[in-house]
Chains A and B, each alone.
Chain A
């Protein structure tokens, strides 16, 4: 992973959309209407950036390429589910990404010195846990989509479809608190707000229901994991290696 430092740095930069959004929010004083101060909002978007950096998943693209190239066949012979391989890759890249994310945070604090804060240790641990759970949820969803490769060959378009609600509803572009009431009434039942909004609120010290959020994340993992198992076993039965 360290071979591609520039690539990972660029990857980290490409996640700066939350900062542009923050700029729109504060520059037009939009936050007054949702009762979040400038400082808290800027912390929120910084945390959203961090959570996104450490929960981004691309397993479907790797798996699609491997499956189209016929690389999945040797993986299947090995006594280890190939998704462990992708899982390890994701973890390794997250660790490499950490210093770059810190550099971006450093620049952020230079421009917004008033928003420097130090979350206490308990909150920090909890938010790392919830970020990891968010990563797990996204990894499971994408793995399920990736298994659809066994049927359609091009599963990445389904992933792009699922990315749209993730982008708009997860809280990356606007905190879920600011959503209109008709969306807020059902959104907390979907996995989306637990992907970015919940861990970011937790870390930035905004108001949030800590135990409720963690429980919902765990419930979603328990719902998705059997589904992944099922699609995986169905898919491998369906699988015919390239050229057969």
Chain B
């Protein structure tokens, strides 16, 4: 019963936010051009790295493109759901409107994470998939059932980790009020997800797998695509994703205890 209620509410969310976003039609066109240019730009940057070298961190250019494709898909998901919603938390807390969210007879994390949608992110997801199919062709990857399940498991784990990272940072607003720039920091760290983890020095590799698990987000799914992944890495990603999801939930419940409305 509860699930159907949430589905119904989500449908309403979709409807209202799509209606309000489609008000700015030229905006969507500009965002499409931005997404295309940004993909072209990152492929250009990759080509600079590869112009005199065959391999970067043990990855060929065609293989590194897969990382680029997965990054683009994940970035599209971030722009569609995480960015419009989770930056809203900052606003809710500054203006005290979080009260209205908490009073609603619905889970507050659900409301806050899925209220809005930005349709221009879809285009980026589409672009990412196009590039991914292109990569599957040029790398001659055989599509099999086990491959498809493994890759969808790893990609959904990446989405969970990404969501939790965004959610963590935004939740800290309850104490710090202005975390706008913390989100920028996260964004710039995520930027390195465009490159294979092995192309960084050892210390940075450790940092990006232990403290901020960006390594898991793009590199492991790409390894699955190339068929060079090891089982323990996939398992580790699943475990990390579960831990992140559970702690993000716990952290939210813990944080709202400290929420003391505006002007109180």
Cβ contact of B45, chosen from A6, A13, A160, A174, cutoff 8 A: A174
A17 touches B191 (CB 8 A): yes
Contact B51 A165, beta carbon cutoff 8 Å: no
| A27-B51 in contact given A164-B34, A164-B37, A164-B38 (Cβ < 8 Å) | no
8 Å CB contact of B27 from A27, A30, A157: A157
- What residues of B have a CB within 8 angstroms of the CB of A33 in the complex? 51-53
Main DSSP-derived SS at the A contact region? helix
User: Of B68-76, B192-200, B240-248, which stretch is located at the interface?
Assistant: B192-200
B45 close to A168 (CB less than 8 A) = yes
Residues of chain B within 8 A (CB-CB) of A179 are 48
> How many Cβ-Cβ contacts under 8 Å join chain A to chain B?
94
B33 located at the interface, meaning its Cβ lies under 8 Å from any Cβ of chain A in the complex: yes
Interface residue B47 (Cβ < 8 Å from any Cβ of A): yes
Overall SS of chain B's interface? helix
Q: Which residue of A lies closest to B185 (CB)?
A: A14
The stretch of B105-113, B137-145, B176-184 in contact with A is B176-184
Interface residues of B in 29-68 (CB under 8 A from A): 30-31, 33-34, 37-38, 41-42, 44-45, 47-49, 51-53, 56-57
Q: Which residues of chain B have C-beta atoms less than 8 A from A154's C-beta?
A: 24, 27
- Let me know if A23 and B204 touch, CB within 8 A: yes
Q: Is the CB of B34 within 8 A of A157?
A: yes
Q: Which residues of B contact A174 (CB under 8 A)?
A: 45, 48-49
Within 8 A of B (CB), among A1-60: 4, 6-8, 10-11, 13-17, 20, 23-24, 26-30, 32-33
Decide: A157 and B31 in contact? CB cutoff 8 A: yes
A173 at the interface (CB under 8 A from B): yes
Pick the residue among A7, A15, A16, A165 that contacts B41 (CB under 8 A). A165
Task: Tell me, yes or no, whether B26 is within 8 Å of chain A by CB.
Answer: yes
Given A157-B31, A168-B41, A179-B48, A28 and B56 contact (CB-CB distance below 8 Å): yes
**In the bound complex, do residue B48 and residue A10 qualify as a contact, i.e. CB atoms below 8 Å apart?**
no
Residues of A within 8 A of B51 (CB): 33, 180
**B48 and A178 within 8 A (CB):** yes
Q: How large is the interface on A (under 10, 10 to 19, 20 to 34, 35 or more residues)?
A: 35 or more
Determine which of A4, A7, A16, A168 lies in contact with B188 in the assembled complex, contact meaning CB atoms within 8 Å. Answer: A16
Asked if A15 and B37 make an inter-chain contact with CB atoms under 8 angstroms apart, the answer reads: no
List CB contacts (< 8 Å) of A153-168 with chain B: 153-154, 157-158, 160-161, 164-165, 167-168
Chain A nearest CB: distance from B36 CB in Å?
Answer: 9
Type the 1/0 row for A184-211, where 1 means its CB is closer than 8 Å to any CB of B. 0000000000000000000000000000
Q: Are B184 and A173 in contact (CB under 8 A)?
A: no
The interface centre, meaning the residue of A10, A167, A178, A179 with most chain B CB atoms within 10 A of its CB, is A10
- A residues bordering B, Cβ < 8 Å? 4, 6-8, 10-11, 13-17, 20, 23-24, 26-30, 32-33, 152-154, 157-158, 160-161, 164-165, 167-168, 173-174, 178-180, 183
Q: Beyond the given A10-B182, A24-B195, A157-B27, could you list 14 further A-B residue pairs with CB under 8 A, ordered by the A residue number?
A: A6-B178, A7-B178, A16-B188, A20-B192, A23-B200, A23-B201, A24-B200, A26-B201, A27-B201, A30-B53, A152-B26, A161-B30, A168-B42, A180-B48
Q: Can you spell out 17 A-B residue pairs with CB atoms less than 8 angstroms apart?
A: A6-B178, A13-B185, A14-B187, A15-B188, A20-B200, A24-B200, A27-B199, A28-B53, A29-B53, A30-B53, A33-B52, A33-B53, A157-B27, A161-B34, A161-B37, A168-B41, A178-B48
Interface residues of B (CB under 8 A from A): 24, 26-27, 30-31, 33-34, 37-38, 41-42, 44-45, 47-49, 51-53, 56-57, 176, 178, 180-182, 184-185, 187-188, 191-192, 195, 199-201, 204
